[in-house]
Structure 1
Amino acid sequence: MTPTPSVWHWLDARLSRVRPHRERLALLIDAAVIAVCWQFTYLFRLGFERWFSARPVYDGWVLLGIVSLYVAVFLVLRVPRGMWRFSGFGEIKRLTIACTLAGGLAAAAVMGAELRAIPRAVLALHPIVALMGLASVRIAYRMLYEHLRARISGSARETRRALVLGAGDAARLLLAGLQHQGWVVAGLLDDHPAKQRARIGGVPVIGPLASVVEHVRLLDISHVIIAMPSLRGAARRRVIDLAAETGLPVLTVPSAEELLEGAAVSRVRDIEPEDLLGREPVVLDEAGISECLKGKCVMITGAGGSIGSELCRQVARYGPSMLVLYELSEFNLYTIEQSLSDSFPALPLVRLIGDVKNAAHLRQVMARWRPQIVFHAAAYKHVPLMEEEHNAWAALQNNTLGTWLAASEAARAGAERFVLISTDKAVNPTNVMGATKRAAEMMISHLASQGHATRFMAVRFGNVLGSSGSVIPKFKEQIAKGGPVTVTHAEITRYFMTIPEAARLVVQAAAIGETGQVYVLDMGEPVRIVDLARDLIRLAGHTVEEIGIVYSGLRAGEKLYEELLADADHTLPTPIARLLIARIEADVSRVSVLVDRALHPDSATADEVRRQLMCAVPEYRAVGETIAAASSGDVPFPVDPE
């Protein structure tokens, strides 16, 4: 009869009490095992009948000396410090060295003392038998501990039965971690013929990946876990789709990039949208980036935002002499400062609360720290919010004027490079946010033509997964509440990239960019938002029928699709695969007038802002009667009164 959970809790409590005395208790048990193995070796060599009669009278003293010798060697090699519940190859290796050394010293001592009554075979076999005994005790304790934790976990919640896709090194490491967490792994699936019917960590490989639905039904599985971190692109998407067909929650081990950053294989997580992109990562010029950033003073505006914070982490990897964090939100600034201090404790950080619309403060900061590289990530990015009456003027000042001021002050301070973070919404914009970013690009192009020593460039990319305001957290929250998931339009599409991918692209642009260039990432095919919603629903273990999808209609300023290049943009290739250069045309007079108006202290209505933007950004097409009038030339462009 299976013991009740209370028995296992009682045993766990007793083990917890002796844990503070673990090293002394381990040494005592090891000494007892060594003594028992000495007697067993005699029994094996002489047989039961001669076991008592053939041993010399001083054998007890010899045994005491041998046990003392083993204990001394174990203390020197720190064997008692090993934690038995994590015993593995490393612990066995340490025991092998200790037993070999102690056994050799014991044999030398016995033969040196000319104790000829001690059989030489016993001296030779005892280290081997002792090693087997010591290893067996540790493995038995680990098995007991893992079974104990599994029973306690099982009593606290329903047992989780997993089917693992993949039977490589990641799966082997995963199995050990899952057992500690109370999982029951029913089997492994892998397409490699040589792995069929094999066992990994005691778990059988029971079939190919395509049989996942069949085995889920046969084995009463509750979760599917993907253990293939090196799989990329379309191959990874295929495995995710196979797992999603089961209708169960799908988890995955961390990606290869996450593992390189220190994540544990056993830390399984939900499938994230970036796992669904099916795109190979861009290979960067690491040496060129290092040459650009190493030993330089780097300043990042908007350092605490989604892109800005990741940009800080990417830049920190290349060893700048100083990182100047410029951020309006004190909470965001504190958060990124803590993160960088933990990951890069030797990196000097300057933490500044500041607003890019404050020209005097920007000038003071630039003059004080003289940044050589400036990344301008500060921006308002939420499209519908910036369309509202009282926010359009703020978007113009922050996104357009803020860029002009930051770039101008960087040039005044002698910065080597200034990199603007732009967006695909700046291409043929239909909303205030996109138009202000397009105007910012034009300003960068204008400054680049003025003969400054500073190189001005911009990086344009699509929607960033996981950024503030992203649709993904909203979808997950709606699914967790039982639905429905709201999508604005059945045909709406977007380009997507991950936050690290976006940050790496920005850093790469800074390294190879020439003045006046706009860098664009070829992000493959755009993603239908409704398809993304369906994927998230399925991977959460639900069906679209259970959760439901509701179409709410396009929001103010929202486009059905985004573009990465405008009609007037000319593209050129770069040495980096899938990274393009877009050369944009800028009307200097229009940009200058827009800056003059933005500098005016009086705010403007949303319609006035749209009219100003349409005059400065010819491709901007907003909707509304006043905008139509502006495009026809009936509404004069407002300028500063003299």
Structure 2
Amino acid sequence: MLNRLAMPILGMPRAAKRIVVLGVDASLCVLTVWLAYYLRLGEWVTFFDDSMWQPWSAALASLAFALPLFIVHGLYRAIFRYSGLFALMTVCKAVAIYGVLYATVFTAIGVTGVPRTIGLIQPILLLLLVGASRLMARFWLGGLYQRQLQVASLPKVLIYGAGNAGRQLAGAMSNSHEMRVVGFLDDDDRLHGHVLNAQPIYSPEDLPDLVRTLGINTVLLAIPSASRQRRNEIITRIQAAHVQVRTLPSVSEIAQGRVSLSDLRELDIDDLLGREPVSPNHILLGKNITGKVVLVTGAGGSIGGELCRQILALQPIRLVMVELSEYALYQISEELQARLKDAAGVELVPLLASVRDEERMREIMLSWRPDTVYHAAAYKHVPLVEHNPVEGIRNNTLGTLITARAATEAGVSDFVLISTDKAVRPTNIMGASKRLAEMVLQAMAAEGPRTRLSMVRFGNVLGSSGSVVPKFRQQIRDGGPITLTHLDITRYFMSIPEAAQLVIQAGAMARGGEVFVLDMGEPVRIYDLALRMIELSGLTVRDEHHPEGDIEIEVSGLRPGEKLYEELLIGNDPKPTQHPRIMQAKEEFLTWECLQVELGRLDESLSRQDIEAIRDVLAKLVSGYRCGDPMVAAA
């Protein structure tokens, strides 16, 4: 109630506030005279009666002395909500002078009908009450005013969606110290002009005007049940207003209970892919996992880690995680241990090992006897592998050979290689090493082992380590510039969870030797992706046409071995499978007898660190391989 009373006072003009305070002081002058009479006589008196006491004369004198003195001493120029020691000293000084004058008149000289002690008691009471009024104003109005200022300075946001999620989010944000909700946006025109949670509901068409008039800088998407295509349409509409966009997770990601401010997150770029992920085939998902022993190499990486998460949810008997990096293995192991309560009965086995260590891999396979192996261990960063070709080939190609051999010797039922679109007509060592790893499995599968050997090829995954999305996001946070290798560079993108799900389903369809290719949708121009990320952060691009913009985009030129456009198929005749997002490529390969000889030559060249000889072997074995000249890559 006190806060509600204070709000009109804080909103009054300065002159009106001074009049109010003057009235308060005048009331205190009269009140203290009345109290002084009570303290002197021991009974309450009235100001106008026929008795011998005449308090009205003492009250008039108090007003006549006090108010001019207070005005002269600047008591009404002070801002009471900021009153401090200096202001209190000024009050004491003014009341002291007042007390001398008042005591002189009523105590030293004397006035008929007014007890002399009134001249001493009343100034003391007036000092106490005037001082107390200033302190009360400071603590009552000052804190509230500061909170008002803090609230007014908070970023103003609109919530897109006036449904349950929007209402709950607004309620959770009512006491937020991060942002202030000033309204809702909703597509339902029946709601426009109405009020929800004391906030107006606007049409999304009004957003550009609201940005100007209300100072909106963020829109919060509270539409967790909307399809990805619908979200993409909404985001495109918001993008033109140059505001930051944050979102609630999808319905499947929101825990039971009320929506909270902590559920808000930055807009994931997979929200912008514009296509719905196909619901997984649960028979395919569980076929090679449920009730079995599963091993994942590269378990601490982006794809390997997500494979582990999804495998754990599919209730294997045991999940063996093989990883070279101790820290990466620790992270994924701790995360999965925390999830074990939802996957009771699953045994987690974290193992430090290199896929290049033949003896160690054979020991792991024979000791733990996995039914299914997902081989995700690889060096994947094109420039790094280009500068370290020997290590890249040893890890990506020979590591695959060693792991696949150990798996077949141990009688593993299914072995799935995680491959890449960079294996198609590669212009870099990384891509060539992965295509050669595919050829190793194709050749081994043709020999008819008991193990079903297959591979799954796809493009970039959003949010993986080293990918452009987290890199661009960090560069935007740092104020730019965003670094781009070429204005026309394009890439395929897929979310990590969707890619991992499709890998598991593709592996379950294998009969041996297949190269599965994931449908990545339409390729994305990286420059357009950078533009969209800037605009959805509420910022603008700085270039020669817009020198006042926020973030600059710098083009550094293609790196060694980098291609402008990635491909998913070497041939042109992919076959459909029982899953609409998984195709089967028809790729040529060498027989194991021929390939074994060439791999021996490659191993010798690697031992000698003979880069030219290494490139010659790769050029002979890998169809379309051209060494990493950026200009060739752009052709």
**Following the alignment from structure 1 to structure 2, what is the Cα–Cα distance between the partners of residues 349 and 201?**
48
**Following the alignment from structure 1 to structure 2, what is the Cα–Cα distance between the partners of residues 472 and 402?**
29
- Aligned partners of 2:3 and 2:144 also within 8 Å: no
- Residue of structure 2 aligned with 1:452, choices 443, 449, 452: 449
Q: How does 1:124-163 map to 2 (within 5 A)?
A: 155=150, 158-163=153-158
Correspondence 1:417 to 2:420: no
Give deviations 1:561-612, integer Å, cap 9, x for gaps. Answer: 0001113x63111121222111221112553234324544724233332212
Give deviations 1:174-219, integer Å, cap 9, x for gaps. Answer: 1122224244221111112343344443433222x23221222232
Shift of 1:493: 0.4
* Structure 1 residue matching 2:497: 3-state secondary structure: helix
- Aligned partners of 2:290 and 2:316 also within 8 Å: yes
- Aligned partners of 1:150 and 1:180 also within 8 Å: no
**Following the alignment from structure 1 to structure 2, what is the Cα–Cα distance between the partners of residues 154 and 312?**
49
**Following the alignment from structure 1 to structure 2, what is the Cα–Cα distance between the partners of residues 236 and 328?**
39
- Aligned partners of 1:254 and 1:263 also within 8 Å: no
Return the TM-score normalized by structure 1.
0.71
Letter in 1 for 2:522: E
Report the counterpart of residue 580 of structure 1 in structure 2: 583
Correspondence 1:304 to 2:296: no
- Aligned partners of 1:457 and 1:516 also within 8 Å: yes
Shift of 1:256: 3.3
- Residue of structure 1 aligned with 2:611, choices 606, 613, 629: 606
**Following the alignment from structure 1 to structure 2, what is the Cα–Cα distance between the partners of residues 268 and 598?**
51
- Residue of structure 1 aligned with 2:527, choices 502, 525, 530: 530
- Residue of structure 2 aligned with 1:223, choices 214, 218, 227: 218
Distance verdict in 2 for CA 1:594–1:283, change over 3 Å: farther
- Residue of structure 2 aligned with 1:408, choices 386, 392, 405: 405
Give deviations 1:317-363, integer Å, cap 9, x for gaps. Answer: 10000000000000000000000001124331111100000110100
**Following the alignment from structure 1 to structure 2, what is the Cα–Cα distance between the partners of residues 262 and 429?**
50
Shift of 1:220: 2.4
Give deviations 1:378-422, integer Å, cap 9, x for gaps. Answer: 00000011111xx10111110001111111111111111000000
Distance verdict in 2 for CA 1:575–1:2, change over 3 Å: farther
Distance verdict in 2 for CA 1:511–1:260, change over 3 Å: farther
* Structure 2 residue matching 1:323: 3-state secondary structure: strand
Correspondence 1:232 to 2:227: yes
**Following the alignment from structure 1 to structure 2, what is the Cα–Cα distance between the partners of residues 497 and 153?**
45
- Aligned partners of 2:602 and 2:614 also within 8 Å: no
Distance verdict in 2 for CA 1:159–1:566, change over 3 Å: same
- Aligned partners of 2:151 and 2:180 also within 8 Å: no
Q: Answer with 1 or 2: which has the greater Rg.
A: 2
- Residue of structure 2 aligned with 1:277, choices 273, 277, 281: 273
* Structure 2 residue matching 1:418: 3-state secondary structure: strand
Distance verdict in 2 for CA 1:173–1:512, change over 3 Å: farther
CA RMSD of aligned residues (A): 2.7
Farther off after superposition, 243-252 or 615-624:
615-624
Distance verdict in 2 for CA 1:153–1:469, change over 3 Å: farther
Shift of 1:559: 0.5
- Residue of structure 2 aligned with 1:316, choices 283, 287, 312: 312
**Following the alignment from structure 2 to structure 1, what is the Cα–Cα distance between the partners of residues 304 and 256?**
19
In the alignment, structure 2 segments of 5+ residues that lack a partner are 8-142, 543-548
**Following the alignment from structure 1 to structure 2, what is the Cα–Cα distance between the partners of residues 372 and 552?**
47
- Aligned partners of 1:427 and 1:434 also within 8 Å: yes
Report the counterpart of residue 512 of structure 1 in structure 2: 509
Correspondence 1:557 to 2:561: yes
Correspondence 1:360 to 2:356: no
* Structure 1 residue matching 2:427: 3-state secondary structure: coil
* Structure 2 residue matching 1:179: 3-state secondary structure: coil
- Aligned partners of 2:168 and 2:258 also within 8 Å: no
**Following the alignment from structure 2 to structure 1, what is the Cα–Cα distance between the partners of residues 253 and 474?**
24
Distance verdict in 2 for CA 1:566–1:317, change over 3 Å: same
**Following the alignment from structure 2 to structure 1, what is the Cα–Cα distance between the partners of residues 499 and 619?**
29
Give deviations 1:151-185, integer Å, cap 9, x for gaps. Answer: 86974993132111122222122112222424422
Q: How does 1:467-478 map to 2 (within 5 A)?
A: 467-478=464-475
Letter in 1 for 2:251: A
Farther off after superposition, 586-595 or 353-362:
586-595
* Structure 2 residue matching 1:299: 3-state secondary structure: strand
Distance verdict in 2 for CA 1:605–1:179, change over 3 Å: farther
Give deviations 1:479-501, integer Å, cap 9, x for gaps. Answer: 22222211111111000111111
In the alignment, structure 1 segments of 5+ residues that lack a partner are 8-147, 628-642
Return the TM-score normalized by structure 2.
0.71
Report the counterpart of residue 370 of structure 1 in structure 2: 369
Distance verdict in 2 for CA 1:489–1:320, change over 3 Å: same
- Aligned partners of 1:396 and 1:598 also within 8 Å: no
Correspondence 1:332 to 2:328: yes
- Aligned partners of 1:590 and 1:615 also within 8 Å: no
* Structure 1 residue matching 2:486: 3-state secondary structure: coil
Give deviations 1:531-555, integer Å, cap 9, x for gaps. Answer: 1111111111211122111111110
- Residue of structure 2 aligned with 1:479, choices 476, 493, 496: 476
- Aligned partners of 2:519 and 2:583 also within 8 Å: yes
Q: How many residues align?
A: 480
- Aligned partners of 2:168 and 2:259 also within 8 Å: no
**Following the alignment from structure 1 to structure 2, what is the Cα–Cα distance between the partners of residues 295 and 580?**
27
- Aligned partners of 2:285 and 2:501 also within 8 Å: no
Farther off after superposition, 339-348 or 592-601:
592-601
Report the counterpart of residue 61 of structure 1 in structure 2: none
- Residue of structure 2 aligned with 1:622, choices 587, 605, 627: 627
